[in-house]
A and B are shown apart, each in its own frame.
Chain A
Amino acid sequence: MKSSDHLLTHNGFAFPFNKCPILPLPRFQEGVLQQVHDGGRVSALFAMPQSTASHLLVAVISHDLEGLLAVLATEAAQHFPSLTPACPQVHLFEREIFEQMGIKPRNHPWLKPVRFPQTPGVKRKKNAVGVMDFYRLEGEQIHEVAVGPVHAGVIEPGHFRFQCQGELVHHLEISLGYQHRGIEEHLSGGPWPATLYQMEAAAGDTSIGHTLAYCQNMEALSGVRAPARAQAIRGLALELERLANHIGDLGALAGDVGFLPTATYCGAIRGDLLNMTAVVCGSRLGRGLLLPGGVAFDLDDRLIKTLLSRLKKAQQDVTSAVALLWDSSSVLSRFEGTGRITQAQAEEIGMVGPAVRASGVEQDVRHDHPTGIYQLFQVPMAVLTQGDVHSRAMVRWLEIQRSLAFCQDLLAHLPEGEVLMPLKNLASWHMAISLVEGWRGEICHVACSDAKGKVSRYKIVDPSFHNWFGLALALRGQAISDFPLCNKSFNLSYCGFDL
């Protein structure tokens, strides 16, 4: 990689935007391909309006081994040759760019709507979200199964289209966008008073993750460091969020195969974990806990003691509940070999989080690009190789154990001091990149400020954005009755994708 082609930075840092070279389009594309070839991963690729005629294309490539982030930029007008054929992991980014900015990636193999935004000028039937050309396996003997947007359970809306031969799924295509709220657009000119609440609701079950990424960006842009105690509480909140969700997922996986004991117990233990967050900040989902510059609530000794004892209790409960799962051969036979994603597939499409770690890829933001408390306290990475439902469940279980240990360790050694620093004005013409390992995987926020120190473009990449395609691939050649199980083993966010 030629160093003149890109800018290297770290997670949670800001840099003046003019330091980043604007490359000609071919060199930009070569650069992206080269970096991906060298082990990089596209964390974000987006367009930002530069003038009325042209847009700036920005790519953020994570180099996990080196702990570095490379930023490349170029100018694009109406269209550009699609990178997807050479680098499939950008396929959805390019579709998104086309949808948001109207810049067409030429020869994109699957240029379909991402979120069906009601853009002015583009004529579409009102409310026609989900109506598009789906992949079709031709032949009168194939039947399609269309699931969603309204599902039988209390889950989010999304449309799944299966091409089936009897019970066998030949192909699955997923169409989302039902919950598109325009969070990124709302942020331009911000930060607004509502921004923090929007971040907390970007993906409702990942409040801490997204808010943390946002706070890190604001702090980087204003040059403020959150105090150590605040960093520790943020880590605690992030891990509690992970714990609650992972435990809930294991319970839901058990429920999907009709294994009641683990399903009911994990459901209850998940509540206990959520309640711990509620003890700290009053909200089970951690809303209102994080502020740019620190956290809003401190922990006193009594609270620490309560949390420690509750954690210990939860640890015992969850261990016995989950042990039932691994001890039941009827469960294991459902989990093993179902919905397999190979390492090559996972890397090719740029998956993240527990799903990619279950396929044998060592990748964890807490480990590769640590910020805050993770620079001091390590969480061992959990990696398995089979890439099936069992691996994805087991990775979660390993992470539960390690997070529990981490939280107890952290609570026992909480740094002293303040928990909140006042935020200064944002630096003008800067860009900040913030990665957080949410419970689903890498959350990437990129913030750009304009001349007045206001946000000019804010890019959010939820881990679900990378992983939905993985679910679609995992279903090929599977029995359709295993779809709910596969789906739950990924447990992706609809609104995190839709934004």
Chain B
Amino acid sequence: MLPFFIVLLILLAGSILAMLFVRRTMALWLGFGAAALASLIGLVWSLHGLIGRVHHAVAYAWSLPYASFSFMVDGLAAFFLMVIFLVSFLVAIHAIIYFRPYAGQIRCGLLMFSFNALIAGMALVVTAANGILFLMAWEIMSFAAYFLIVFDDKKAEIRRSGYIYLIATHIGTAFLFALFWLLALKSNGSMAFAGFSAFRTAGLAMQVVAASLAVLGFGAKAGIVPLHVWLPEAHPAAPSPVSALMSAVMIKTGIYGILRIYTLLALPVHWWAYGLIALGVVTGLLGIFFSMMQRDLKRSLAYSSIENIGIILIGIGIGSLGLALRNSTIALLGFAGALLHILNHALFKALLFMSAGMVVQKLHHHDMEKMGGLQKRLPRTGTLFIIAATAVCGLPPLNGFVSEFLIYLAAFSGVASPGPAGIASSLIVIISLSLIGALALATFAKIISIVFLGAPRSPEIESVRESTWAIHLPLMAIALLMFAIGLFPDWILRLILPATVPLTGMTDLETATLLAPFSPVLRGITVTTMLFGFIFVCLYHLRKNMLKKRAYQETETWGCGYLAPTPRMQYTSASFADSFMGSVKKAAGLDEEVDRPTGLFPKGQSFRAMVQDTFITRLYAPFFEFSARLLGFAQKLQHGRLPLYILYITVMLLLLLVWYGGLR
């Protein structure tokens, strides 16, 4: 475990140094450089653990009641560490250049402090083997994220987003307190994870309560619908590299929590599986649906993260279903698909947020309706975004396809297997995955088109120029990794196999044997995608040769010969989304301010469609309003009149006296 503590030390040193030298540009190198260095060491260490199947466990005493410094790194933790450190490493390098404009500002120091704290917090969360330690790490992570979100705290809406995040995350933490308390009850008050296995003997009701608390507590962090509302608020508010880190890895700690509890409990897997599939389907479908409706680029990406959490849950669900059906192939495929999707989503969402961040940094806003034509001006950023978007749609030959393929294959195996139990839920998984995939395709086709293609919708875009090569290097590395996973899924699956061990309850050997028949399948993907690439390259060169010999002409886009075309004659984000909402606009939370042209000769009408999350407007806002009214009477007691306050105190004292007297 020594390298792990060195990693934590470097992170700590980096944050302190960055604060000390905050006035210098060097601070960026100290802060983010330390983060990158630490992440790199951590990455190598976790990879070593994962490949070598090395398990670590250490424990040191702690004076805090019930607490101990106990850490454990099994396959699952090593996998999450790998994801965390991989993304942190790449984001940190990107951040060194990205935050250069803010160099020398105090808040930049705080940013780097929180950034490093966030990485450390996440690393601690996935390694902690004690409930109290876990909750401490969880809080470090949550607060670090809060300070990152409110980086630009001059703006009121950003402060508001920060509050929403803070409230949501602490409601989640409250559930986690309850969860650990419940788990500790069964293990004689011990908060050690090792002892929690005693809970396996608890009754069904207790199991259900514990599982629900875990889903509520961790789901709030992961962004499971309907606990997702902070996500689309926090991501647009935070600086883009921070969004990348949060969306790519931080929300996955919620998934880690669910998986960890899963390994600690012996759950009656049938209903656990159905529950997870249902949650996943709802989260995935609503996530992508809301993503389609957004006008804010980063908000749309945030909703897409919710969608991907849905896919991951579906994968875990179908894995659990495999366990329930005692079909280890389905179980293994489901869990492997879910875990691989965690890695994949971390990669392409980091890439999406970072490339979107470069756009936002140039334009100083995230409003897609004012973008357009950026591919011509930011060709590298645009290409990277398009690659990431292709991956997020789950399309070959990129990594997103592989994980979705595994989950699909698990579901199709369920469909093919005899017995009615899995047939219905497997079909639901297949239907929803295909619908989510198709909607994701439409959503990202929209985003790419509106942001990068066509003609600029606002004049300042004309002067936008691409940044230096260096800032793109970490992004290109991610793109390469994505292609590598997409083209050679066999290797990556072998890498993550140890992480499935704690989930399936099988041994290393068993999982390897089970997976063996799927190696040819994955190599089939390699061969097919290679063939696809080969055909494409052939066609590409054929066209290139033709281009040399033929006439070549450039002209305007066909506009029916009209003399004065304008950029308004392009599809807008709202128009593209409109047909997808069909007749459920109201229910979907679309608030249309239409001043319809009426009369024969209308003049000066306008249209504005605002999308608000239905769960905020229909669920949380009414709830909080209701609570506010309920607690309104308390406000009457607090009127600011001193004599009456003195009266309160006197009455209280009297009551205490009477009580005391009564006791006697």
A and B in contact, CB less than 8 Å: yes
Inter-chain contact B295/A141, CB cutoff 8 Å: yes
Closest to B570 in A: A143
CB pair A149 B600 closer than 8 Å: no
State whether the Cβ of B571 lies closer than 8 Å to any Cβ in chain A.
yes
A144 proximal to B (CB < 8 A) = yes
Whether A140 pairs with B597 at a CB distance below 8 angstroms is no
Residue pair B597, A141 in contact (C-beta under 8 Å)? no
Within 8 A of B (CB), among A336-377: 348-349
Instruction: Please determine whether A476 and B597 come into contact, CB atoms closer than 8 angstroms.
Output: yes
Q: What CA separation (Å) do A110 and B369 show in the bound complex?
A: 29
Give A109 to B598 CA distance when docked, in angstroms: 13
From A25-33, A158-166, A320-328, A451-459, the one touching the partner chain is A158-166
Known: A143-B570, A167-B579. A138 touches B564 (CB 8 A): no
> For residue B571, which residues in chain A have a CB less than 8 angstroms away from its CB?
143
**Is B603 a contact partner of A109 (Cβ separation < 8 A)?**
yes
A492 on interface, CB distance cutoff 8 Å:
no
Let me know if A165 and B569 touch, CB within 8 A: no
Interface presence of A150 (CB below 8 A): yes
B569 in contact with A473 (CB, 8 Å): no
Cβ B369 vs Cβ A146 within 8 A: no
B662 CB within 8 Å of chain A: no
Instruction: Tell me which residues from 561 to 616 in chain B have a Cβ below 8 Å from any Cβ of chain A.
Output: 561-566, 568-579, 594, 596-597, 600-609
- Nearest CB on A from B367, distance (A): 8
Contacts of A171 in B (CB 8 A): 597, 602
**Distance A391 CA – B570 CA, assembled complex (angstroms):** 34
**B363-384 to A contact mask, C-beta < 8 Å, 1/0:** 0000101100000000000000
A127 → chain B, closest Cβ, in Å?
7
Within 8 A of B (CB), among A112-146: 127-131, 135, 137-146
Q: Which residues of B contact A473 (CB under 8 A)?
A: 600
In the complex, which residue of chain B has the Cβ closest to the Cβ of A167?
B579
CB B115 to nearest CB in A, in angstroms, measures: 34
Is the beta-carbon distance between A110 and B601 smaller than 8 angstroms? yes
Q: Distance (Å) between the CB of B128 and the closest chain A CB?
A: 47
User: Contact at B575–A170, with CB atoms within 8 Å?
Assistant: no
CA separation between A91 and B600, bound complex, in Å?
10
Given contacts A143-B569, A149-B560, A171-B597, contact A165 B370 (CB under 8 A): no
A138 to B601, CA, bound (A): 15
The complex places the Cα of A159 from the Cα of B571 at a distance, in Å, of 19
Known contacts being A139-B607, A170-B596, is A150 close to B602, with CB within 8 Å? Answer: no
Residue from B561, B575, B579, B603 within 8 A of A150 (CB atoms)? B561
Bound form: Cα–Cα A141–B610 in Å: 10
In the bound assembly, the distance between CA atoms of A453 and B563 in angstroms comes to: 44
Partner of A143, one of B564, B568, B594, B603: B568
A138 B600 Cβ-Cβ under 8 A: no
Whether B606 contacts A139 by the Cβ 8 Å rule is yes
Q: Does A88 contact B (CB under 8 A)?
A: yes
Q: Which residues of A contact B573 (CB under 8 A)?
A: 141
A313 / chain B contacts, CB cutoff of 8 Å: none
Contact B568 A144 (CB under 8 A): yes
Structural contact, B603 and A135, CB atoms closer than 8 A: yes
Q: Tell whether B517 is near chain A: CB-to-CB under 8 Å.
A: no
A477 and B565 alpha carbons, distance in the complex (Å): 24
Q: Which of B604-630 contact A (CB under 8 A)?
A: 604-609
Q: For window 427-473 of chain A, which residues contact chain B by CB distance below 8 Å?
A: 469, 473
Least distance between B583 CB and chain A CB atoms (Å): 12
Known: A146-B559, A148-B560. A137 touches B565 (CB 8 A): no
- A contact residues around B607 at 8 Å (CB): 137-139, 141-142, 165, 170
Partner of B562, one of A141, A148, A164, A477: A148
Tell whether, in the assembled complex, residue A159 and residue B579 are in contact, meaning their CB atoms are under 8 Å apart: no
Closest to B457 in A: A140
* Number of residues on chain B facing chain A (CB within 8 A): 38
Distance (Å) between the CB of B15 and the closest chain A CB?
41
B601 near A145: Cβ-Cβ < 8 Å? no
Question: Are B576 and A146 interface neighbours, CB within 8 A?
Answer: no
Smallest Cβ distance from A95 to chain B, in angstroms?
11
- On whether the beta carbons of B560 and A141 are closer than 8 Å, the reply is no
A492 CA / B596 CA spacing, docked (Å): 26
B370, B562, B600, B604: the one contacting A349 at CB < 8 Å is: B600
* Complex: A404 Cα to B565 Cα, angstroms: 47
**Residues in B neighbouring A137, C-beta threshold 8 A:** 597, 605-607
Contact B597–A131 (Cβ < 8 Å): no
| Residue of B with least CB distance to A135 | B602
Cα–Cα distance between A147 and B560 once the two chains are bound (Å): 6
Alpha-carbon separation in the docked complex, A232 to B561 (Å)? 45
* Chain A residues near B564 (CB-CB < 8 A): 128, 130-131
- Give Cα distance in the complex from A157 to B562, angstroms: 10
The one of B563, B569, B608 in contact with A145, judged by C-beta atoms closer than 8 angstroms, is B569
Whether B569 and A144, one on each chain, are in contact in the complex, defined by CB atoms closer than 8 angstroms, is yes
Complex partner residue of B605 from A138, A141, A145, A147, CB under 8 angstroms: A138
Q: How far is the CA of A131 from the CA of B562 in the complex (A)?
A: 8
Q: Which residues of A contact B572 (CB under 8 A)?
A: 140-143
Closest CB of chain B to A83's CB: distance in Å?
13
B370 touches A140 (CB 8 A): yes
How far apart sit A167 and B581, CA to CA, in the bound complex (Å)?
12
- B598 to A, closest residue via Cβ: A476
Kindly state the separation between the CA atoms of A63 and B381 in the bound complex, as whole angstroms.
Answer: 69
Q: How far, in Å, is B289 (CB) from chain A's closest CB?
A: 16
B575 close to A159 (CB less than 8 A): no
Evaluate whether A138 and B369 lie within 8 angstroms (CB atoms) in the complex, with A130-B563, A146-B569, A476-B597 already known: no
Contact A166 B575 (CB under 8 A): yes
Residue contact A166 to B597, C-beta cutoff 8 Å: no
Partner among B562, B602, B606 whose Cβ is within 8 Å of the Cβ of A130 = B562
Closest to B607 in A: A139
Query: Within the assembled complex, what's the spacing in Å between the Cα atoms of A476 and B607?
Result: 15
Q: Contacts of A138 on B, CB cut-off 8 Å? A: 604-607
A109 contacts B568, C-beta separation under 8 Å = no
Which residue of chain B is the closest to A141 with respect to CB atoms?
B574
Provide the bound-state CA to CA distance between A224 and B297, in Å. Answer: 76
Residue A305 CB within 8 A of the other chain: no
Residue of B nearest to A138 (CB): B606
Instruction: Determine whether A79 belongs to the interface, using a CB cutoff of 8 Å to chain B.
Output: no
A135 to B561, CA, bound (A): 20
* CB-nearest residue of chain A to B369: A140
The answer to whether A150 touches B563, judged by C-beta atoms less than 8 angstroms apart, is no
CB distance from A211 to the nearest CB of B (A): 32
Contact in complex: A348, B559 (CB < 8 Å): no
B578 near A170 with CB under 8 A, answer no
Given A144-B568, A148-B562, are A348 and B579 neighbors across the interface (CB < 8 Å)?
no
Say yes or no for A168: interface residue by CB 8 A criterion.
yes
Cα distance, A135 to B602, chains bound together (Å): 8
A151 on the B face (CB < 8 A): yes
A138 to B605, CA, bound (A): 6
Task: State whether B575 touches A163 (Cβ < 8 A).
Answer: no
> How many angstroms from the CA of A7 to the CA of B60 in the assembled complex?
112
Query: Which residue of B is nearest A178, CB measured?
Result: B561
Q: A141-B573, A141-B607 are in contact. Are A135 and B597 (CB under 8 A)?
A: yes
- For A477, what are the chain B residues with a Cβ–Cβ distance below 8 Å? 596
Chain A residue numbers with a CB within 8 Å of B579 are 166-167
Q: Roughly how many angstroms separate A167 CA and B578 CA in the complex, as a whole number? A: 8
A148 with B575, Cβ < 8 A, contacts A139-B606, A139-B608, A170-B596 known: no
For B575, the chain A residues whose CB sits under 8 A away are: 141-143, 164-166
Choose among A84, A140, A144, A167 the residue with the greatest number of B CB atoms under 10 Å from its CB. Answer: A140
B366 → chain A, closest Cβ, in Å? Answer: 13
Task: Please report the C-alpha to C-alpha distance between residue A134 and residue B475 in the assembled complex, in whole angstroms.
Answer: 45
CA distance A109 to B599 in the complex (A): 11
* 7 tightest Cβ-Cβ pairs between the two chains A and B: A166-B578, A141-B574, A150-B561, A138-B606, A109-B601, A140-B369, A139-B607
Beyond known contacts A138-B605, A159-B560, A349-B600: 11 more, CB 8 A cutoff: A84-B601, A128-B563, A130-B562, A135-B603, A139-B607, A139-B608, A140-B572, A142-B568, A144-B568, A166-B577, A170-B596
10 pairs, A vs B, C-beta closer than 8 Å: A88-B600, A129-B563, A137-B597, A137-B606, A141-B573, A141-B574, A149-B560, A149-B562, A159-B562, A165-B594
